[in-house]
Amino acid sequence: MNKWLSPRSAFGITLIVVALLGLPFVAAMGGQAWVRILDFAILYVFLALGLNIVVGFAGLLDLGYIAFYAVGAYAWALLASPHFGLHLPIWVILPIGAGLACIAGVLLGSPTLKLRGDYLAIVTLGFGEIVRIFMNNLNAPVNITNGPQGITLIDPVAFGGFKFSGTTQVFGYALTGPMKYYYLLVALAILVIIINLRLQHSRIGRAWQAIREDEIAAKAVGINTRNIKLLAFAMGASFGGIAGGVFAAMQGFVSPESFSLMESIMILAMVVLGGMGHIPGVILGAVLLSILPEALRYGVGPAQMALFGKQLVDPESLRMLVFGLALVLVMRFKPAGLWPSPERKRELGEKRMEVAK
Amino acid sequence: MSANVPTTLLEAKAVAKHFGGVKALRDVSLTIRRGEIYGLIGPNGAGKTTFFNCMTGLYVPDGGGFVFDGVPLVADAPHQAAERGIARTFQNIRLFGNMTALENVMVGRHVRTRAGVLGAMLNNAATRAEEAAIRQRAMDLLHYVRIEDRADDLAKNLSYGDQRRLEIARALASEPKLLCLDEPAAGMNATETAELRELIEGIRRDGTTILLIEHDVKLVMGLCDRVAVLDYGALVIEDVPAVVQKDQRVIEAYLGA
C-alpha cells in the first residue's frame, strides 16, 4: 500500500470528513428529530457491520442478532441507572456489555455449529426471542430487568465530566445531545469499519470465506471450523453488545419491546439489501433502510394532503407498504444487493447467464 | 529410491468402517513408506475414498486406526490431520469457487501461520510480514504447478486441468509430509495426464510422500513404487506394481471373474 495518498483520494477523504462533520448541523435545520434519526442511522451501520461478520463473511444466517444488542443494552441499563443504584463509568460498562454479548454469542454458537442455512436461521431466531422473553419476565421473583416496564433514567455516555446528554457550548457552537452522540457514533462506526476491512483481508477473514464456500474443503486444509465459526459469532455479538450499550445510554430507557424479531430482520435486510460481505454496500444498506422509513413517515402524510386534499390511507401502513415494495424491487432487479462486491456481482451475474444459455 | 532403509510414514492398522449393513472397509492394514509414491486402486465402490476419508479425519473409523509419523492420528479431527502433515485433494474437485486462485492457496497456508483476530485488527508489523510471506509462498506454489498467470482469476473460472493443479497447490501450501491425491487424473486427456504425472514425480523429488488413488491403472503402475488393491472393502494385495499386475486375485477383481 502506498504510504502517501494521491491528491485525488486526499481530496475525497477531506470531502467525506467535512460532510460527516457538517451533517448534523444540516439535519438540525429540520429539527433535532432529524439529528436523532441520523444517530440511529449510524447506530444501524454499526450493527449491520457487526452482523456482516457473521452473515457476510462467515456465511452463517443469524436471525437473532438483536439478542446481543439487547444484552449490551441491558448490561448498560443495569450497571448505570438508579434501578440497582449502580453508576459505573463507561470504560467499565462497555467492556462488560461487549463481554456478556460475546459470551451469549458463544452460547448460541456452540450448539448450532453443525447447522447450516435455514436450520441455523430457525435456531438463532428462537434464541433472539428467548432473550427478549427473558428480559420481559425477569422481574419476579427477583426483580432484575423490571419486566415490560423497562429501565428508565439510564446514565448518558460520559467521559469524566463531559456528558453526552444536554446542550453544551463548544467553540461558540451550541451542541445538542443528539449532535454529540452523532460524533461519538461516527467515531465508533469508523472504528468498526476499519476492523471489518482488516478482518476481511486477514488470515481469519479468508478462513471465514473458505467455510462459507466449502466447509469440508475448509476442514481438509486444516481450518478448525468449530473455533473459526465461534469466533465469527463472538465477534459479531461483541459489536452488537457495544451498540446496545450506546443505544441504552442515548435513549436513557430500555424495554424488551425494542428488541423484537422485526429489528433482527431489519438489520439482516440492511446487510442483504446493501450487498452481503461488501462493507460499503452494508453501510449503504444500513443508512438507506434506517432513513427511508423515517423520510416516508414525514413525507407520506403531507404528500397525500397535497395530492388528494385528504388522508386516504393511514400514513403508517402506507409507509410499510412502500418500504416493502422497495425491498421486493431491489431483490428482483439487484439480487446481489444495491452495491455488491465485484466478485459477488460476477457470481450472480453469471448464474443468470447460465440460465439464459 | 535412495539407498538407506525406507522408514514408515503412515501405518493403517485394521481400519474398519461400515455404513449401516454395508462394510465399506474390512480391517484394512497397510504401510506407506517415507518418500514413495503409493498407489491405492480397486474397482468402483471398493472403499478407496472411504479409506481416504477415515485417514484425513472426515469419517470416524469403526475399528482400527492410523499411526502417522510415529504418533496415532486422532479420529474425527480433519484440521488436526492437516496440521500433522496430511494434505488431500478431492475426487470431485472442492475449491473455494468464489475466491481467486491465489486466495485458495493462501487459505492453504492457514495451518502453518498464526495471525489471529487481534493481529488482524491491529495490523501490526508481525501480521503484515506474515501476510506478505503467505502471499509470496502462495504465488511460488502457483508457479510450481504452473498456473501463476491465473492467480487473480476466480477458482471456478479455471479450466478443469487447472482446477486440479490449483487443488494440488492448495494442498501443498500446508507443507504436508503426505500428499493424498484422490483420482487426480479423472476426466483428463492423455496430454494432461502426462503433465500431471510429471508434476507428481516432481513433488516426490522435492521430498513429499504421495498416496495416489486412481482408476487409470496404466498411470498407477507406471508411477507408483508400491500399490495396494482394495476390493469389497478388503485389502487384496500390497506390493510392487510388477507383482500386483500379475496377481490372479487382482485380475479377477478388475475383470469381475
DSSP-derived secondary structure for B100-120 = BHHHHHHHHTGGG----HHHH
pLDDT tens figures, B156-192: 999 998 999 999 999 999 999 999 999 998 888 888 8
Same domain, yes or no: B144 and B251: no
| CATH number for the domain that contains residue B34 | 3.40.50.300
- The 10 Å Cβ neighbour count of residue A266 is 18
Q: Determine whether the interchain pair A195/B115 forms a contact, defined as Cβ–Cβ distance below 8 Å.
A: no
| Three-state SS at B181 | strand
Query: What confidence tens digit (pLDDT) does each residue in B81-93 have?
Result: 999 999 999 989 9
Q: What is the pLDDT of residues A274-327, one digit of tens each?
A: 888 889 999 999 998 888 888 877 777 777 788 887 777 777 777 778 778 888
* B192 and B75 share one domain: yes
Contact A224 B79 (CB under 8 A): yes
Residue B132 confidence (pLDDT): 93
Interface residue A206 vs chain B (CB under 8 A):
yes
> Which cell numbers hold the place of A315?
400514513
Tell me: pLDDT of B256 over 50: yes
Tell me the longest C-alpha to C-alpha distance in chain A.
Answer: 68
Of B79, B98, B134, the CB nearest to A223: B79
pLDDT digit string, tens, across residues A180-207: 899 999 999 999 999 999 998 899 999 9
B122 and B22 fall within a common domain:
no
* Residues of the domain holding B135: 94-158
- Examine residue B209 and state whether it is found in any structural domain, yes or no: yes
Give me chain B's average pLDDT, please: 89
User: How far is the CA of B231 from the CAs of A80, B24, B40, B48, in angstroms?
Assistant: 71, 10, 11, 9
Among residues A237, A97, A238, the alpha carbon closest in space to that of A154 is found at A97
Among residues B132, B158, B184, the one where a domain terminates is B158
What is the dihedral sign for C-alpha A177, A183, A185, A188?
negative
Q: Is B246 among the domain residues? A: yes
Residue A348's pLDDT is what? 57
pLDDT interval class at B1 (50, 70, 90): very low
B49 touches chain A (CB under 8 A): no
**Mean of the pLDDT values across residues B54-80?**
88
Nearest C-alpha in A relative to B114: A203
CA B111, chain centre distance (Å)? 16
Residues of chain B with pLDDT > 70: what percent? Answer: 96
In a shared domain, residues B211 and B150: no
Mutate to test the interface with B, among A106, A213, A239 (most CBs of B within 10 A): A213
DSSP SS3 for A248: helix
Which residue, A317, A289, A294, is CA-closest to A30? Answer: A294
For B247, counting Cβ atoms within 10 Å of its Cβ (0-12 exposed, 13-18 middle, 19+ buried), the class is middle
Residues of chain A with pLDDT under 50: 1-2, 354-357
CA distances from B10 to A205, B26, B57, B169 (A): 33, 18, 14, 22
Instruction: Give Cα B32 distance to the centre of its chain.
Output: 13
pLDDT of residue B143: 94
What pLDDT band is residue B226 in, cutting at 50, 70 and 90? very high
DSSP 3-state assignment of A249? Answer: helix
B180 and B240 in a single domain? The answer is yes
The count of domains in chain B is 2
Strands of the sheet containing B8-19, edge to edge, are: B22-33, B8-19, B63-68, B71-72
A221 vs B108: CB contact, 8 Å cut-off? Answer: yes
Quote the DSSP letter at residue B156: G
For residues B76 and B112, is the Cβ–Cβ distance under 8 A? no
B204 and B234 assigned to the same domain: yes
* Cis-peptide, bond into residue A302, ω within 30° of zero: no
Q: Give the integer Cα–Cα distance in Å for B49 and B28.
A: 13
The answer to whether residue B124 neighbours chain A at the CB level (below 8 Å) is no
Contact between B94 and A217 using a beta-carbon 8 Å cutoff: yes
Q: How far is A194 from chain B (nearest CA, A)?
A: 8
Mean per-residue pLDDT, B131-135: 93
Residue B32's SS3 state is strand
Q: Touching check for B146 and chain A: CB below 8 Å?
A: no
Are B81 and B102 contained in the same domain?
no
Distance from CA of B168 to the nearest CA of A (A): 11
Give how far Cα B88 sits from Cα of A14, A48, B80, B182, Å.
Answer: 50, 37, 13, 7
Scanning B159-178 for CB atoms below 8 A from A yields: 170-171, 173-174
Q: Of B158, B189, B205, which one is at a domain's C-terminal end? A: B158
- The partner residues of B230 in beta bridges, in order of sequence, read B235
Q: Is residue B124 part of a domain?
A: yes
More confident call, A129 vs B215: A129
Q: What percent of chain A clears pLDDT 90, i.e. is strictly above it?
A: 41
Band the pLDDT of B114: cuts 50, 70, 90.
confident
